[in-house]
Chain A
Amino acid sequence: MEKMKVRGVTKIFGKNPKRAIELLERGRSKAEILSQTGMTVGVNQASFDVQAGEIFVIMGLSGSGKSTLVRMLNRLIEPTAGEIWIDGENVTTMDKNQLRNLRRKKISMVFQNFALLPHKTILQNAEFGLEIQGVSKSKRKEKAAEALQLVGLGDYLDKYPNELSGGMQQRVGLARGLANNPDILLMDEAFSALDPLIRKDMQDELLELQQSMQKTIIFITHDLDEALRIGDRIALMKDGSIVQIGTAEEILMNPANDYVERFVEDVDVSKVLTASHVMKRAETITVDKGLRVALQLMRDRGVSMLYVIDKTQKLLGYITADRASEAIKEKKSLKETLMTDYIGINPDTLLADLFEPMANTAVPLAVIDQNGRLKGIVIRGAVIGALAGIEEALNGNGVNPK
Chain B
Amino acid sequence: MIDQLPKLPLAHWVRAFVDFLTDHLQGFFGGLSHFISMIADSVNAFLNFLPPIVLILIFLVLAWYRTGWRFALFTLIGLGLIADLGYWEETVQTLTLILISVIIAIIIGIPFGIWMSQNHWVRSIVTPILDFMQTMPAFVYLIPSVIFFDLGVVPGIIATVVFSMPPVVRLTNLGIRQVPMDLVEASNAFGATTWQRLTKVQIPLAVPTIMAGVNQSIMLSLSMVVIASMVGAPGLGAVVYQSVTTIDVGVGFEGGLSLVIIAVILDRISQGRERKKNKA
Contact = CB atoms under 8 A, between A and B. Distances in A.
A100 B183 contact: no
Contact of A104 (B185, B191, B200, B204): B191
Given A76-B185, A111-B186, A113-B182, A119 B279 contact: yes
A119 B191 contact: no
A128 B185 CA distance: 13
Q: Which 5 A-B residue pairings sit nearest by Cβ, starting from the closest?
A: A103-B191, A104-B191, A118-B280, A115-B186, A109-B189
Interface stretch (A129-137, A291-299, A312-320, A383-391): A129-137
A111 B185 contact: yes
A357 to B, nearest CB: 47
Contact of B189 (A101, A103, A112, A118): A103
Given A118-B205, A119-B205, A132-B192, A160 B279 contact: yes
B201 interface: yes
24 contacts: A102-B191, A103-B188, A103-B189, A104-B191, A107-B189, A108-B190, A109-B189, A111-B182, A111-B185, A111-B186, A113-B182, A115-B182, A115-B183, A115-B185, A117-B200, A117-B204, A117-B205, A118-B280, A119-B279, A132-B190, A132-B192, A133-B191, A162-B279, A162-B280
Q: Which of B190, B192, B196, B279 has the most chain A CB within a 10 Å cutoff? A: B190
Given A108-B190, A115-B183, 5 more contacts: A76-B188, A107-B189, A109-B186, A160-B279, A186-B189
Contacts of A128: 186-187, 190, 200
Interface residues on A, range: 20 to 34
Interface size class on chain B is: 10 to 19
A102 to B, nearest CB: 8
Interface string B192-204: 1100100011001
A391 B189 CA distance: 42
A74 B193 contact: no
Contact of A131 (B200, B204, B205): B200
B193 A100 contact: yes
Contact of A76 (B189, B193, B200): B189
B193 to A, nearest CB: 7
Contacts of A74: 189
A101 B191 CA distance: 7
Interface string A204-232: 00000000000000000000000000000
A256 to B, nearest CB: 32
A101 B193 CA distance: 11
Interface in A103-156: 103-104, 107-109, 111-113, 115, 117-119, 128-129, 131-133
B149 to A, nearest CB: 41
B196 to A, nearest CB: 6
Interface in B175-224: 180, 182-183, 185-193, 196, 200-201, 204-205
Interface in B126-170: none
A396 to B, nearest CB: 39
Interface of B: 180, 182-183, 185-193, 196, 200-201, 204-205, 279-280
Q: SS class of chain B's interface: helix, strand, loop or mixed?
A: helix
Contacts of B186: 109, 111, 115, 128
A104 B279 contact: no
Contacts of A115: 180, 182-183, 185-186
Tell me which of A132, A160, A180 has the highest count of chain B C-beta atoms within 10 A of its own C-beta: A132
Contacts of B190: 103-104, 108-109, 128-129, 132, 176, 180
A103 B200 CA distance: 17
Nearest to B183: A115
Given A100-B191, A131-B200, A132-B192, A118 B279 contact: yes
A133 B190 CA distance: 9
A45 B185 CA distance: 24
Interface in A162-201: 162, 176, 180, 186
Contacts of A109: 186, 189-190
Interface in A65-99: 74, 76, 99
A112 B186 CA distance: 11
A1 B190 CA distance: 25
Nearest to B184: A115
Nearest to A113: B182
A108 B201 contact: no
Interface string A331-370: 0000000000000000000000000000000000000000
Nearest to B205: A119
Contacts of A162: 279-280
A186 B188 CA distance: 14
B8 to A, nearest CB: 39
Given A115-B182, A115-B185, A132 B205 contact: no
Contacts of A186: 189
B84 to A, nearest CB: 44
Contacts of A129: 190-191
Contacts of B189: 74, 76, 103, 107-109, 186
